[in-house]
Structure 1
Amino acid sequence: MSDRLPGFSTLAVHAGAQPDPTTGARATPIYQTTSFVFNDADHAASLFGLQAFGNIYTRIGNPTNAVLEERVAALEGGTAALAVASGHAAQVVVLQQLLQPGDEFIAARKLYGGSINQFTHAFKSFGWNVVWADPDDIASFERAVTPRTKAIFIESIANPAGSITDIEAISTVARKAGVPLIVDNTLASPYLIRPIDHGADIVVHSLTKFLGGHGNSIGGIIVDAGTFDWSTGGKYPMLSEPRPEYHGIRLQETFGNFAFAIACRVLGLRDLGPALSPFNAFMILTGIETLPLRMQKHCDNAKAVAEFLAGHPAVAAVNYAGLASDKYHQLARKYAPKGAGAVFTFSLKGGYDAGVSLVSKLQLFSHLANVGDTRSLVIHPASTTHSQLDDAAKVKSGAGPDVVRLSIGIEDKEDLIADLEQALGT
Structure 2
Amino acid sequence: MSDRLPGFSTLAVHAGAQPDPTTGARATPIYQTTSFVFNDADHAASLFGLQAFGNIYTRIGNPTNAVLEERVAALEGGTAALAVASGHAAQVVVLQQLMQPGDEFIAARKLYGGSINQFTHAFKSFGWNVVWADPDDIASFERAVTPRTKAIFIESIANPAGSITDIEAISTVARKAGVPLIVDNTLASPYLIRPIDHGADIVVHSLTKFLGGHGNSLGGIIVDAGTFDWSTGGKYPMLSEPRPEYHGIRLQETFGNFAFAIACRVLGLRDLGPALSPFNAFMILTGIETLPLRMQKQCDNAKAIAEFLAGHPAVASVSYAGLASDKYNQLARKYAPRGAGAVFTFSLKGGYDAGVSLVSKLQLFSHLANVGDTRSLVIHPASTMHSQLDDAAKVKSGAGPDVVRLSIGIEDKEDLIADLEQALGA
**TM-score using structure 2 length:** 1.00
Gaps of 5+ in 2: none
CA–CA distance in structure 2, aligned partners of residues 310 and 408 of structure 1: 16
Residue number in structure 2 paired with 1:15: 15
- 1:110 counterpart residue number: 110
Distance in 1, matches of 2:87 and 2:313, equals 37
Following superposition of structure 1 onto structure 2, how do residues 374-413 of structure 1 map, counting pairs within 5 Å?
Answer: 374-413=374-413
> C-alpha separation between the residues in 2 aligned to 1:388 and 1:250?
42
Deviations 1:232-281 (A, max 9, x none): 00000000000000000000000000000000000000000000000000
Give, in whole Å, the separation in 2 of the partners of 1:204 and 1:271.
19
Give the SS at the match of 1:94. Answer: helix
Q: Distance in 1 between matches of 2:317 and 2:227?
A: 40
Task: Please list the CA deviations of residues 205-256 of structure 1 after superposition, one character each: whole Å capped at 9, or x if unmatched.
Answer: 0000000000000000000000000000000000000000000000000000
The Cα shift of 1:64 comes to: 0.0
Deviations 1:25-52 (A, max 9, x none): 0000000000000000000000000000
- The offset of 1:301, in angstroms, is 0.1
CA distance in 1, matches of 2:325, 2:216: 36
- Once the two structures are TM-superposed, the CA of residue 368 in structure 1 deviates from its matched residue by 0.0
Q: Deviations over 1:11-35 (max 9, x none)?
A: 0000000000000000000000000
Structure 2: how far apart are the matches of 1:369 and 1:386? 11
- Partner Cα separation in structure 2 for residue 349 and residue 425 of structure 1: 13
- Partners of 1:375 and 1:343 lie apart in 2 by 12
Q: Secondary structure at the match of 2:170?
A: helix
SS at 2:55's partner residue?
coil
What is the CA–CA distance in structure 1 between the aligned matches of 2:260 and 2:19, rounded to whole Å? 29
Give CA deviations for 1:135-166 in whole Å, capped at 9, x if unaligned. 00000000000000000000000000000000
What SS does the corresponding residue of 1:249 show, helix, strand or coil?
Answer: coil
Q: Distance in 2 between matches of 1:51 and 1:392?
A: 52
SS at match of 1:375: coil
Q: Distance in 1 between matches of 2:360 and 2:34?
A: 44
What is the rounded CA distance, in whole Å, between the counterparts of 2:105 and 2:230 in structure 1? 16
Query: Corresponding residue for 1:181?
Result: 181
Q: Aligned equivalents of 1:192 and 1:186: distance in 2?
A: 10
**How far apart, CA to CA, are the structure 2 residues paired with 1:239 and 1:3?**
35
Distance 1:77 1:320 in 2: 27
Tell me the distance in 2 between the aligned counterparts of 1:241 and 1:12. 37
Secondary structure at 2:12 match in 1: helix
For 1:76 and 1:225, how far apart are their aligned partners in 2? Answer: 8
Structure 1 counterpart SS, 2:266: helix
Distance 1:358 1:378 in 2: 9
1:160-211 CA-to-partner distances (Å, cap 9, x unmatched) read 0000000000000000000000000000000000000000000000000000
1:307 partner SS: helix
Partners of 1:148 and 1:66 in 2: CA distance: 35
Task: State the alpha-carbon separation in 2 of the partners of residues 390 and 39 from structure 1.
Answer: 58
What's the TM-score, normalizing by structure 1?
1.00
The CA RMSD measured in Å over matched residues stands at 0.4
Could you tell me how far apart the structure 2 residues matched to 1:190 and 1:36 are? 33
Q: Which runs of 5+ in 1 are unaligned?
A: none
Query: Are 2:66 and 1:66 aligned?
Result: yes
How big is the shift at 1:89?
0.1
CA distance in 2, matches of 1:191, 1:342: 12
Structure 1: distance between partners of 2:236 and 2:302: 42
Cα distance in 2 for partners of 1:393, 1:47 equals: 48
2:29 paired residue number: 29
Q: Secondary structure, in 3 states, of the residue corresponding to 1:183?
A: strand
Q: Give SS of 1:154's match.
A: strand
CA distance in 2, matches of 1:358, 1:392: 23
Q: Partner of 1:54: helix, strand, or coil?
A: coil
SS at 1:55 equivalent:
coil
Measure the CA separation in 2 of the matches of 1:390 and 1:242.
45
Cα distance in 2 for partners of 1:357, 1:93 equals 39
Pairwise CA distance, 1:414: 0.1
Q: Matched residues in 2 for 1:3 and 1:270: separation?
A: 37
Q: What are the Cα deviations for residues 267-323 of structure 1, in whole angstroms up to 9, with x where unaligned?
A: 000000000000000000000000000000000000000000000000000000000
Aligned length: 426
Give structure 1 regions of 4+ aligned residues with deviation exceeding 4 angstroms. none
Deviations 1:99-142 (A, max 9, x none): 00000000000000000000000000000000000000000000
Give the share of equivalent positions with the same residue, in percent.
98
| Counterpart in the other structure of 2:333 | 333
1:293 match: secondary structure: helix
Counterparts of 1:299 and 1:324, CA distance in 2: 15
Alpha-carbon distance between aligned partners in 1 of 2:423 and 2:3, rounded to the nearest angstrom = 54
Partner of 2:160: 160
SS in 1 for 2:205: strand
DSSP 3-state at the match of 1:378 = strand
Note the alpha carbon deviations across 1:49-82, whole angstroms, 9 max, x for none: 0000000000000000000000000000000000
Using the alignment, how far apart are the partners of 1:400 and 1:307 within structure 2? Answer: 21
Displacement of 1:2 after TM fit?
1.3
